[in-house]
């Protein structure tokens, strides 16, 4: 056999550092992942080293000796560099090489190589039993694939194609996200094809952002999907390249109730979201169902429970946006059962803004005492690590003639400079405000910015919340990101 071909076959099986060197022999008493690999290789060749424990036992030595009797008569039951090479050579003679990249080709039983080793490692990380990671698609690997497919409600093929590999990678991302101590999520919007404000903010602060929630999907009253936003693939590719999780926002278009009240439509939406998550590799969804009637409480619970049961087996997460409460009697928040939603959702995003907004008298957008009370109430119903604190990057201008205009951070500060009026800090509400008169019409402005958000970031840190969510990327004052860094987020 040509040397280059022999090395290629050997490398397929020696996917980690060799267990033995020319000067060492591994024998009874050794332990570790390298021993488990050798045990699995012996099993794959039809020998019987005992359970794959990673411990080199007498039974393992006997299996090695039986292999050496045919391939390496000078061996004595220990594994040196020559025996390792012979094991790899014997495996290469028995199994077919797996060609192509995992996730782009079908990998199946009887194949060997790096794609199989990656598959084995990923399945083991998810808690499935694959034996030793030896790069051979053996019976243990096939059983692990079948077990994963069964749990993820996929077709039970025992083979690792694109759908199965995408689901495995999603489950791995879910594990990584659940171990991330602090979530920094940015709401991502594109109201026109040329809109770049959210993308520019993401690019400028990508090392501080762990997830984005693009406003991409809505469901009509009949349960049919309506796509919003632009450049889906481009955003997904950019986020994946920079290890930013994507949780598309899903809204109940036109505040329709059927999406939760109708069991048939509810299930249609759940099924479509599950398929979409697998197809496009989403980390999960951000469910933003607003304007629901109090009578929709049970339907909302049923929807989130059904979606959780559909997404959890494939490693996807759910975040649910909820209006904040300070008491159980908040009428607008009646459809949102904090106890049930907090049990089944992975994150609960408190929309702690718009306390004063369009349709209300002038006042702070997110008064600090109200935010503290909202967090206290949420903590009485929801585990702290699941609570995500909503942060505003905008303000409102109320005119004495009844018109209210929204301004993002930089625009509202520019307005104050243009009118030549002082901006005052309200220490109680921890928010900025100013007044001005234009053409005889009085105006009152309240707004959030990077400095005011510092106190809210500290609140989330002090109460050990799971994260913060900024509405929206591209509207914020750059000082916000300095506050994120300095408060430890």
CATH number at 242 reads 3.20.20.80
Encoded tokens for 433: 């405000």
Question: Do 88 and 107 have their domain in common?
Answer: no
478 found inside a domain? no
With 60 as the cut, is the pLDDT of residue 362 above it? Answer: yes
* The pLDDT of residue 179: 58
d(CA 17, CA 204): 39
Mean pLDDT computed over 181-190 = 91
pLDDT exceeds cutoff 80 at 38: yes
Exposed, middle or buried, 7 (CB in 10 Å: 0-12/13-18/19+)?
middle
Asked whether residue 76 falls in the same domain as residue 7, the answer is: yes
CA angle 266, 272, 276 (to 5 degrees): 145
Same domain for 121 and 28: no
Specify whether 127 is located in the same domain as 40. no
57, 146: one domain:
no
Asked whether residue 15 carries a pLDDT value surpassing 50, the answer given is no
CATH code at position 70: 1.10.101.10
Report in angstroms the alpha-carbon separations of 179 from 124, 125, 172, 253, 465: 17, 13, 11, 33, 14
Measured in degrees and rounded to the nearest 5, phi and psi for residue 121 equal -65, -40
Whether residue 300 contacts residue 336, with contact meaning beta carbons closer than 8 Å, is answered with yes
Of 94, 129, 151, the residue at which a domain comes to its end is 94
Residues in contact with 487: Cβ distance below 8 Å, sequence separation at least 6, in sequence order = 454, 457, 458, 461
Task: Evaluate whether residue 267 is within a structural domain.
Answer: yes
Are the C-beta atoms of 188 and 473 separated by less than 8 Å? yes
Output the pLDDT for position 170: 79
- Looking at the fold, whether 340 and 234 belong to one and the same domain comes out as yes
User: Same domain, yes or no, for 49 and 102?
Assistant: no
- The reply to whether 226 falls in a domain is yes
Label residue 9 by pLDDT band (50, 70, 90).
very low
Over residues 425-434, the mean pLDDT reads 98
Mutual orientation of helices 114-125 and 139-151 as an angle, nearest 10°? 50
pLDDT for position 2? 34
5: pLDDT strictly greater than 50? no
465 pLDDT more than 80:
yes
Domain hosting 138: range is 97-175
At 435 the pLDDT is 98
Average pLDDT over residues 76-103: 88
Residue 458 reports pLDDT greater than 80: yes
Kindly state the average pLDDT of the residues 288-297: 94
Q: Using a pLDDT cut of 70, give the percent of the chain over it.
A: 93
Query: Is 89 part of a structural domain of the chain?
Result: yes
**Residue pointed to by tokens 């079948």:** 146
Residue 290 has pLDDT above 80, yes or no: yes
The pLDDT score that the predictor gives to residue 22 is 53
Tell me if 230 is assigned to some domain.
yes
What does the pLDDT look like over 41-68, one tens digit per residue?
899 899 999 888 889 999 999 999 999 9
Question: Are 118 and 83 part of one and the same domain?
Answer: no
Please say if the pLDDT value at position 373 is more than 60.
yes
Structure confidence at residue 21 (pLDDT): 56
- Please provide the size of the chain in residues: 489
Residue 85 lies in a domain: yes
Query: Is pLDDT above 90 for 6?
Result: no
Q: Is the pLDDT of residue 70 over 90?
A: no
Question: Could you report the per-residue pLDDT of 312-344, keeping only the tens digit for each?
Answer: 888 899 999 999 999 998 888 999 999 999 999
- pLDDT tier at 180 (50, 70, 90 boundaries)? low
Please tell me whether residues 77 and 103 are part of one structural domain: no
Average pLDDT score over residue span 459-465: 95
- pLDDT of the residue at 242: 86
Tokens of 422: 């002082």
Token output for 464: 């050990």
Check residue 19 and give its pLDDT.
Answer: 61
Q: Are residues 225 and 333 in the same domain?
A: yes
Q: Based on the domain organization, do 223 and 333 belong to the same domain?
A: yes
pLDDT digit string, tens, across residues 383-394: 999 999 999 999
Residue 17 has pLDDT above 70, yes or no: no
Burial class (CB in 10 A: 0-12, 13-18, 19+), 99: exposed
How many domains, the chain? Answer: 3
Least confident of 10-19, 315-324, 473-482: 10-19
Q: Please indicate, yes or no, if residue 330 is contained in any of the structural domains.
A: yes
For residue 99, the model assigns a pLDDT of 83
Which range is least confidently modeled, 12-26, 198-212, 396-410? 12-26
Is 0.95 topped by the overall pTM? no
Same domain, 218 and 149: no
Mean pLDDT of the chain: 90
Q: Quick one: average pLDDT of 262-275?
A: 95
């Amino acid at each position: 056999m040509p040397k280059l071909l022999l090395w290629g076959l050997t490398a397929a099986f020696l996917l980690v550092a060799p267990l033995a060197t020319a000067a060492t022999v591994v024998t009874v008493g050794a332990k570790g992942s390298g021993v488990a690999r050798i045990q699995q290789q012996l099993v794959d060749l039809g020998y019987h080293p005992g359970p794959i424990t990673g411990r080199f036992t007498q039974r393992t030595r006997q299996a090695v000796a039986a292999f050496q009797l045919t391939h390496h008569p000078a061996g004595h039951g220990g594994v040196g560099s020559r025996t390792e090479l012979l094991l790899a050579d014997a495996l290469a003679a028995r199994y077919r090489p797996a060609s192509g990249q995992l996730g782009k080709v079908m990998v199946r039983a009887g194949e060997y190589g790096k794609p199989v080793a990656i598959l084995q490692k990923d399945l083991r990380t998810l808690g499935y039993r694959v034996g030793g990671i030896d790069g051979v698609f053996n019976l243990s690997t096939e059983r692990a694939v079948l077990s994963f497919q069964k749990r993820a409600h996929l077709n039970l093929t025992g083979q690792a194609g694109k759908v199965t590999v995408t689901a495995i990678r999603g489950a791995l991302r879910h594990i990584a996200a659940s171990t991330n101590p602090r979530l920094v999520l940015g709401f991502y919007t594109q109201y026109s094809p040329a809109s770049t404000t959210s993308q520019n903010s993401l690019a400028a602060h990508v090392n501080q952002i762990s997830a984005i929630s693009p406003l991409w999907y809505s469901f009509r009253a009949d349960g049919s999907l309506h796509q919003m936003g632009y450049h889906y693939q481009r955003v997904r590719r950019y986020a994946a390249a920079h290890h930013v999780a994507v949780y598309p926002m899903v809204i109940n278009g036109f505040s329709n109730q059927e999406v939760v009240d109708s069991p048939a439509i509810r299930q249609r939406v759940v099924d479509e979201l599950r398929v979409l998550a697998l197809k496009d590799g989403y980390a999960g969804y951000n469910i933003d169902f607003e304007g629901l009637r109090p009578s929709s409480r049970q339907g909302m619970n049923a929807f989130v429970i059904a979606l959780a049961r559909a997404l959890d087996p494939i490693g996807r997460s759910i975040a649910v946006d909820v209006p904040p409460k300070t008491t159980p009697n908040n009428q607008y928040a009646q459809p949102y059962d904090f106890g049930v939603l907090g049990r089944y959702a992975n994150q609960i995003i408190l929309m702690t803004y718009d306390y004063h907004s369009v349709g209300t008298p002038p006042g702070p957008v997110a008064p600090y005492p109200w935010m503290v009370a909202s967090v206290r109430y949420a903590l009485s119903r929801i585990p702290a690590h699941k609570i995500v604190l909503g942060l505003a990057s905008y303000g409102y201008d109320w005119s004495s003639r009844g018109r209210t205009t929204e301004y993002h951070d930089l625009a509202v500060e520019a307005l104050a400079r243009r009118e030549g009026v002082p901006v005052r800090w309200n220490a109680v509400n921890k928010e900025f405000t100013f007044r001005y008169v234009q053409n005889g019409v009085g105006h009152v402005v309240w707004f959030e910015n990077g400095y005011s958000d510092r106190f809210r970031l500290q609140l989330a840190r002090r109460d050990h919340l799971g994260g913060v969510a900024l509405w929206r990327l591209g509207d914020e004052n750059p000082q916000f990101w300095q506050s994120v860094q300095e408060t430890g987020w």
